[in-house]
Structure 1
Amino acid sequence: MPDRLPNRPDDPAGRTPADDALAARLTLPRYPRSAAYDARWTIENQMGPHALWLLEWLAGALGPDVLRPGARVLDLGCGRAMTSVFLAREYDVRVTAADLWTEPGDNARRIAGAGVADRVLPVRAEAHDLPFGEETFDAIVSVDAYQYFGTDDLYLPTLTRLLKPGGTVGVVVPALREEIDGTEPPEHLEPFWEPAFWCFHSPAWWRRHWTRSGAVSVTAADWQPDGWRDWLLWCDVVAEESGDDFHVRMSRESARMLRADEGRTLGFARVVGRRR
């Protein structure tokens, strides 16, 4: 079965009522660029929260001078390259799509299918061993990945060496509204909590963490208003529409957690800094 293309189909003959209903459900006014992408394509290629929504929110804090046509961008932890395709198509930048767990050949097929093979290069890379020279990129972005490696005090100074002077790094991560005191999660989250969740931190924590590094001037570190509601909507849709049993199970469990929390603790933070 051929891969679905990212474009939302314009030909009524190519759409079903179910396609239209799904597209309507996932069309949110605050993400106008993401709304142009085929909903089933995003479901087939997801690896967590809706990456295009999160990237579109991040782009609003980066500014047009960062994602300017022709800029060189590292998409760190790109997963199945949806965000890399989005960056190339929406902003006409040149993207290096780096991920450890997704085969570069698989991403190359998706990238070619999206018509951006001339602007996106897929590579396999581990975040602590990036095979790029210093001052290679104008910008580095990371969506739903940076929390797994970026809490290390020494990581950001090493990463920003890949940026040109004055270059920008911007990330979106699952986050805590406020830091959790002690060693136990809130009682209502105990049935769902995993040790890996301790890599989630508040926007204030990320601002302090990046400022202390001395590597960047922090220009944004904020909480996404109602981000948990978007996350919950996406989990419900994936649980209903995905053909992957693993993603269905994970989405259902995440939805249960988010309903129990109701935005009291969990959501998303974006953090942006400019290389000193």
Structure 2
Amino acid sequence: MEYVKSQKYNTPELLAKIMGPNPFKLQEEMLRNHKIPAGSLVCDLGSGQGLTSVMLVKDYGFTVYAADLWSDPQENRQFFDGMGLTHKQIIPVKVDATALPFEKDFFDAIISTDSYNFWGRDPEYLDAKLLPYVKSGGYIYACVPGMKKDCHDNLPKELLLSWTPEQLIYLRDTAYWNKIVNSSRNAEVISVYEMESNEEVWADWLMQENEIAVNDRKTWSAGGGKYLNFIAFILQKK
């Protein structure tokens, strides 16, 4: 696909801040033809250094809580100020995705780009820990790195060049995520699908010079990308 919105973020300074495969392109594909009204109050869950949050404000017209456990809200605030965003447009907060501190029925939507797999694999998570904070009729859009077909019983040697079996436990296939989201009693599953984004978003990441990206090159240089994909799912709260 053409990543029209993502092009403006294709700068060395912003790409140096990414923490994995290009989050701008992943988010743009995930939100293609989205149903969230402009002006909605949105939680960017697992926002990292706030790149996806900036895009949600600037390109989609949302008011955003940039929620992350590991990033520094003050540093993110400085970044948001530098991007010309006000305190009313975007609010950085330090939160645990399994213990959200917000009021019930607070958000019009929750969006999560390349992080939901770290906390959302518990079948009870959606109903117990996430959906209570979404308004009735509101949406969840999430995308996660995955496997084209589950191979944990016989992990390819190419994947093990960059990651341990314990790290690979976070990568699952479409059938796995279908089962997880369809276990929810309080959400309608609109779709679960393999995304187009894979080689291109990985290529953007592997061009970076941080030690994690350099380590990930081992798998891709050996052809391990053929086992991997990205998976998106869209839910609507009943």
Letter in 1 for 2:200: D
Find the partner of 1:273 among 215, 232, 235: 235
Q: Percent identity?
A: 27
- The reply to whether residue 213 of structure 1 matches residue 184 of structure 2 is yes
SS at match of 1:80: coil
Deviation for aligned residue 1:123: 0.6
Where do 4+ consecutive residues of structure 1 move more than 3 Å? none
Find the partner of 1:198 among 150, 169, 172: 169
Find the partner of 2:22 among 47, 50, 62: 50
Measure the CA separation in 2 of the matches of 1:89 and 1:79.
17
- The reply to whether residue 238 of structure 1 matches residue 208 of structure 2 is yes
Q: Does the CA contact (< 8 Å) of 1:235 and 1:254 recur in 2?
A: no
Q: Does the CA contact (< 8 Å) of 2:26 and 2:201 recur in 1?
A: no
- The reply to whether residue 175 of structure 1 matches residue 137 of structure 2 is no
- Unaligned 5+ residue runs, structure 1? 1-28, 240-246
Q: Does the CA contact (< 8 Å) of 2:123 and 2:184 recur in 1?
A: yes
Q: Does the CA contact (< 8 Å) of 2:46 and 2:68 recur in 1?
A: yes
Structure with the bigger RCO (C-alpha within 8 Å, sep 6+) is 2
- Unaligned 5+ residue runs, structure 2? none
Deviation for aligned residue 1:260: 2.3
Question: Counterparts of 1:127-166 in structure 2 under 5 Å?
Answer: 127-157=97-127, 158-166=129-137
Deviation for aligned residue 1:262: 4.9
SS at match of 2:14: helix
Q: Which TM-score applies when normalising by structure 2?
A: 0.92
Q: Does the CA contact (< 8 Å) of 1:224 and 1:269 recur in 2?
A: yes
Deviation for aligned residue 1:38: 4.5
- The reply to whether residue 116 of structure 1 matches residue 85 of structure 2 is yes
SS at match of 1:213: coil
Measure the CA separation in 1 of the matches of 2:32 and 2:180.
22
Deviation for aligned residue 1:40: 1.6
Q: Does the CA contact (< 8 Å) of 1:137 and 1:163 recur in 2?
A: yes
Measure the CA separation in 1 of the matches of 2:146 and 2:74.
32
Measure the CA separation in 2 of the matches of 1:236 and 1:125.
29
SS at match of 2:231: strand
Root mean square deviation of aligned Cα: 1.6
What CA deviation, in whole Å up to 9, does each residue of 1:119-141 have, x standing for no partner?
10011111111110111001001
SS at match of 1:110: helix
Aligned residues between the structures: 235
What CA deviation, in whole Å up to 9, does each residue of 1:152-171 have, x standing for no partner?
12111120111000111011
Letter in 2 for 1:120: I
Q: Which TM-score applies when normalising by structure 1?
A: 0.80
